[in-house]
Amino acid sequence: MEFKSYADLEADVVRMLPNLPRDLDLIVAVPRSGLVPASMIALHLNLPVTDLEGLFDGRLIASGHRKLRKSVSETDETPLKVLIVDDSVGTGAQMREIRAELERRALPHRIQIAVIYATPTGAPLVDFYGKTVPVLRHFFAWNVMHHSAINQWCVDIDGVLCRDCTLEEDDEAERYARFLHSAEPLYLPTSRIGWLVTGRLEKYRAVTETWLHKHGITYDKLIMHPADSNAERKANGGIGHFKGNFYKSIDSGLFIESCAWQAKDIANASGKPVLCMETRSMIQPNTTARLRKIARKGPGSYFRFVRRLFENYRDQNRNAGFVQGLQTTSGTQIQKNEKC
């Protein structure tokens, strides 16, 4: 599977802009998947934006004090040039429903539809698309924690489901106990998780299960480190080694990890990809080992892998710069430790 970050999406939106009509009056998002790309397009083109229900009800999203290139009044009944936007189209089932609803509504506007990613099956159902993909096997930064396939994935706890503890809190005493009880949630999933794999020690299972239940997180298995202390855990190879070996032992295609350095350890130990939430990029296993394995499959597989490797390297650097820019803008310094 391929991961698409916000930075990837914005780059693909920018590449798509020259192909869009320049006489548009309004951008309309397909909720919820189309909200992000529609907002990006509306901002780049300096146009008003709304969602599908807003289009049907004549309602717009406020634009603040920014002067728009075109002004649209909620009471204006003049036919508009409208672009409906979604992030992708696969089989086309949802797009057919949208077109059927538009036909039923018989709106007076000139309406066209755009997506950023389209399969060969779905492409004929839209007017514009940015990229073609054989099948929709990718997932996005804005829906990764809500993807139905998460029931087949491994997911970290600290730094993913909840904030990570600080160095001061990691005292294996009262402050850490308070953290375990009251850690603020971060990315709460809406689907059942396959395996929760954490560096937390086994002796903290009860309080961890209580926190998960409190926040409505369901899962099949909770895997915790068997060591009795942080020192023993470190002596046994550390957290990344533990997570990577477990990930390798099961039939799971993705591990969602918080820390960049642990993500690399997990990927190398397991030989499988890891999604790093810190850098918002996909971390691949050790390149040399993977090249040997793939080269045995023939030159075609080798060259396809090298091309994907280059694309991942480019995306990781772009995504890391994007995240660093956000942190610099907000003035927030994130403190990491081995509790990830």
Digit-coded pLDDT (tens) for 48-60: 999 999 999 888 7
Give yes or no: residues 104 and 127 share one domain: yes
Give yes or no: residues 84 and 153 share one domain: no
Asked if the structure places residue 155 within a domain, the reply is: yes
Give yes or no: residues 13 and 100 share one domain: yes
Number of structural domains the chain divides into: 2
Digit-coded pLDDT (tens) for 239-259: 999 999 999 999 999 999 999
Give yes or no: residues 150 and 277 share one domain: yes
Asked if the structure places residue 319 within a domain, the reply is: no
Digit-coded pLDDT (tens) for 117-137: 999 999 999 999 999 888 766
Give yes or no: residues 130 and 154 share one domain: no
Last residue of a domain, one of 107, 139, 171: 139
- What domain range includes position 7? 2-139
Asked if the structure places residue 180 within a domain, the reply is: yes
Please indicate whether residue 333 or residue 288 has the higher confidence score (pLDDT): 288
Give yes or no: residues 125 and 59 share one domain: yes
Give yes or no: residues 148 and 281 share one domain: yes
- Tell me, letter by letter, the H, E, C secondary structure of the chain: CEEECHHHHHHHHHHHHHHCCCCCCEEEECCCCCHHHHHHHHHHHCCCEEEHHHHHHCCCCCCCCCCCCCCCCCCCCCCCEEEEEEEEECCCHHHHHHHHHHHHHCCCCEEEEEEEEECCCCHHHCCEEEEECCCCCEEECCCHHHCHHHHHCEECCECCCECCCCCCCCCCCHHHHHHHHHCCECCCCCCCEEEEEEEEEHHHHHHHHHHHHHCCCCEEEEEEECCCCHHHHHHCCHHHHHHHHHHHHCCCCCEEECCHHHHHHHHHHHCCCEEECCCCEEECCCHHHHHHHHHCCCHHHHHHHHHHHHHHHHHHHHHHHHHHHHHHHHCCCCCCCCCC
State pTM to two decimals: 0.75
Give yes or no: residues 166 and 36 share one domain: no
Q: Return the percentage of the chain with pLDDT > 90, whole number.
A: 67
Give yes or no: residues 150 and 126 share one domain: no
Asked if the structure places residue 200 within a domain, the reply is: yes
Digit-coded pLDDT (tens) for 283-319: 988 754 555 555 566 666 656 666 666 666 665 555 5
